[in-house]
Chain A
């Protein structure tokens, strides 16, 4: 499918950067060549954290939480020997700092 795109991916990124207003929050992943949209990143989290069902369960809702708190918590999970968790520390390793920041901002901006 990529072959059909008329401009190469570097120009696409520049194009994205030009459009990078608060409405276009794709972020760069360190590992992958192309950024993963924050909606795609956040969708993965919904497998356990979808609101409002998570309310009242041991799994916390993310929508509307403070961005700094969210970022700090995610970085704690990612740190070697960080916060004891059941599975968070196992899935969060692959996210870059930029992605975690984007996730924190994304969830903070959602209505709880």
Chain B
């Protein structure tokens, strides 16, 4: 890697009297020719673009993203619950291209030529890079659950990528009769947003309590425990009585087959549940472009060097967000944002042929039980023995008055506003 031509060029250009920012990071790399390309304008990718330009204002940064408007999964459950409208989930790229000097290319990356360091676009375009950051999020594994393919998802929506799927589930829930059974099929770990299904259950219950109070929500889960479980179960009970029922793996919660026409879920022991509305969250894997770039392993996810999130398999490609194996960090938007900051600094250091700075990552995931009832999980992560470790963290207390739950609900809304503004806003 010391033969890396970009590094040599940079070293020559920067020399010994390199300009340093407050972080001790080199500035104005673009003058020396560092081109950073990012695939995916979601939480990880758009945040990485912002962070790179903040740390190195002149840097040549290109962001490849097919959508004009990004819809956030965070708060899409609130939309299902009737707390937010669909428009509020959308964020566009105007500020990134304008004031922040990021080149936004509206395209899908279809391949990566790792030898020549070029990204291939769906329209035949080629984008050369010196360092590549992939933050493509997740793809569903259409082969993992019998009966659940892309066509089935048109009847049994996953709504695990925000957009048309979210609207479809919203429509189905609105059209459901009072007394209908809402079934959610939940996968084993790892998957996007560990507490997400359980927040969704609460938000669906919130809607039903007001409009369809005879309805029931049945959660069929492929595992025996979940994030913030005691807090969720307490909240569900306190606010919605027995409207929500959770069935874990040991109680025959694992669904092995679905029938989209019949709206039927069949469990490991052959029990069949027929739903009025069925939300199937299937097993997942890294977004397709990660497989094309050959950075995934047999798990379908991307192994990375913990210090930088550079691929363990292909040098010069960094993978952040849900696609990466970052455990014990959860696959959350908050973590994707945190990883973007650390990886931006690592990419700049790499371009300047310097060792990466030591990392620290934070996470806080809020979940809403009700509009005035929030709970959360937080953690701080550092490197320990060259692996990612949680150094401190915790969840909301089980014993708490309505005041704290209200404040956490307020903070959830504040967090969403701050995070989306920091990434896509002015």
* A112 interface contact, C-beta 8 A: no
Write the B402-426 contact mask toward A (1 if CB under 8 angstroms, else 0).
0010011011011101110110010
* B345 CB within 8 Å of chain A: yes
Give the docked Cα–Cα distance between A38 and B355 (Å).
16
Interface residues of B in 374-418 (CB under 8 A from A): 376, 378-380, 382-383, 391-396, 404, 407-408, 410-411, 413-415, 417-418
B360 partner, pick from A5, A36, A59, beta carbons under 8 A: A36
Does B33 belong to the interface (CB within 8 Å)?
A: no
B360 touches A40 (CB 8 A): yes
A4 contacts which of B2, B334, B342, B421 (Cβ < 8 Å)? B2
Are the CB atoms of B334 and A24 closer together than 8 Å? no
Complex contacts, A59 vs chain B, CB 8 Å = 411, 414-415, 418
Q: Does B175 sit at the interface, judged by CB under 8 A?
A: no
Chain A residues near B359 (CB-CB < 8 A) = 36, 40
A56 CA to B413 CA, complexed, in Å = 12
Distance to closest chain A CB from B406 (angstroms): 10
Asked if B408 and A86 make an inter-chain contact with CB atoms under 8 angstroms apart, the answer reads yes
Question: In the complex, what distance in Å separates the CA atom of A32 from the CA atom of B422?
Answer: 29
Nearest A residue to B24 by beta-carbon distance? A24
Assess the A90–B414 pair: CB atoms within 8 A: no
- A69 to B414: give the CA distance in the assembly, Å: 23
Counting CB contacts under 8 A, is B308 at the interface? Answer: yes
User: Which B residue sits closest to A50, measured CB to CB?
Assistant: B422
Q: Do B355 and A26 touch (CB < 8 A)?
A: no
- Beta-carbon contact of A54 and B418 below 8 Å: yes
**Contacts of A53 on B, CB cut-off 8 Å?**
417-418, 421-422, 425
A24 and B360 CA atoms in complex are apart in Å by 18
Tell me how far the C-beta of B397 lies from the nearest C-beta in chain A, rounded to whole angstroms.
10
* A82 in the interface (beta carbon within 8 A): no
Q: Which of under 10, 10 to 19, 20 to 34, or 35 or more describes the interface residues of A? A: 35 or more
The answer to the question of A72 belonging to the interface, with a C-beta cut-off of 8 Å to chain B, is no
In the complex, residue of chain B having the shortest beta-carbon distance to the beta carbon of A93: B392
Give the CA-CA distance A9 to B358 in the complex, in Å.
Answer: 12
Task: Tell me which residues across on chain A come within 8 A of B371, comparing CB atoms.
Answer: none
Mask of B339-367 contacts with A, CB within 8 angstroms, 1/0: 00110010000100111111111101000
Q: CA of A5 to CA of B305 in the docked complex: distance in angstroms?
A: 17
Contacts A37-B24, A86-B376, A87-B364 given; indicate if A47 touches B358 (C-beta within 8 A). no
In the complex, per-residue mask of A62-92: 1 if CB is within 8 Å of any chain B CB, else 0 = 0000000000000000000000001100111
Q: Is the CB of B24 within 8 A of A91?
A: no
Contact of A57 among B334, B404, B414 (CB under 8 A): B414
Distance between Cα atoms of A53 and B394 in the complex (Å): 26
Shortest beta-carbon distance from B380 to chain A in Å: 4
A37 partner, pick from B25, B350, B391, beta carbons under 8 A: B25
B51 at interface by CB-CB < 8 Å: yes
In the assembly, what is the distance between CA of A43 and CA of B339, in Å?
10
With CB as the reference atom, state the residue of chain B lying closest to A49. B418
Q: Closest 7 interchain pairs by CB?
A: A93-B392, A43-B341, A53-B421, A50-B422, A39-B23, A57-B414, A44-B362
